[in-house]
Amino acid sequence: MRSGRGADYDQAVVDLCGVLAYAELTAFERIAFDARMAPTIGAKAALAGMASAEFHHFRRLREHLHTELGVDAEEAMAPFVKPLDDFHDQTAPADWIESLVKAYVGDGIAVDFYREVAALVDEPTRSLVTEVLADTGHSEFVVEHVKAAIAADPSMAGRLALWARRLVGEALTQAQRVAVDRDDLARLIVGDVGGHVGDLAAVGRMFARLTEAHTRRMASLGLSS
């Protein structure tokens, strides 16, 4: 891949697509597993459809890596396998409702972050990232079922709020780990690639937007942030 914007930029784009591809693959696996735990046939069917959409997103990213960026997709994903797997291992939900909160809150902050980064890359990649991060209906599904569970057992709200806070903390820790390990991606985030001078104030504003979106997401579940 040669974009004309420098080798550091090109590698950052590969890293962005690589981490997203592996994230979509693991999302497929987790939603398919959640479908097995779903309490009704309707819920199982809805989650199965969402899992299928996530796998389609994975295939689109894999094809983009191979065809448009000219790299091996598995090699592009490899650096992100351990940090993402570690995150999921450390945040294994205790039950189906916790798994829904994890998908909505934990994945939600990651999606917001990737959208912010996508604004910094070329149009073909940006359009693809926007496409694969589109909500497949999971958000509405989660909000409906979590709010119903809390209505049936109000004592559950405190436990789920603590769970959500833990998820965000773990997600931010893993994001920092990825940034430390992938210098080009980190420089893209701060705007320090292709000869551009980094803007740390812009990074601060980005994290403020992520925090605001997380607060809204928690409120939609009826949970305190």
What contacts 13, CB < 8 A, 6 or more positions away?
A: 1, 3, 69, 121, 122, 125, 188
Please give the pLDDT value at position 4: 57
Asked if 205 contacts 111 with a C-beta cutoff of 8 angstroms, the reply is no
- For the chain, give every domain's residue range: 7-221
Who wins on pLDDT, 80 or 136? Answer: 80
pLDDT at 81: 93
Q: Is the pLDDT of residue 176 over 70?
A: yes
The confidence score (pLDDT) of residue 197 equals: 47
Is the pLDDT assigned to residue 203 strictly greater than 80?
no
Residue 61 and residue 24 in contact, taking contact as beta carbons nearer than 8 Å: yes
> What pTM did the predictor assign?
0.85
Q: Is the pLDDT of residue 200 over 70?
A: no
Contact predicate 110/102, CB 8 Å: no
Q: Which residues contact 205 (CB under 8 A, 6 or more apart)?
A: none
- Helix 7-37 and helix 41-63, axial crossing angle in degrees, nearest 10: 160
- Supply 29's token pair: 């696996």
Structure confidence at residue 5 (pLDDT): 66
Pair 33, 63: CB distance under 8 Å: no
Q: What is the DSSP string of 43-59?
A: HHHHHHHHHHHHHHHHH
- Please give the class, per CATH, of domain 7-221: mainly alpha
- Please give the pLDDT value at position 159: 94
Q: How far apart are CA 140 and CA 40, in angstroms?
A: 17
Rounded distance between C-alpha atoms, residue 4 and residue 207, angstroms: 29
pLDDT at 194 over 70: no
pLDDT at position 112 over 90: no
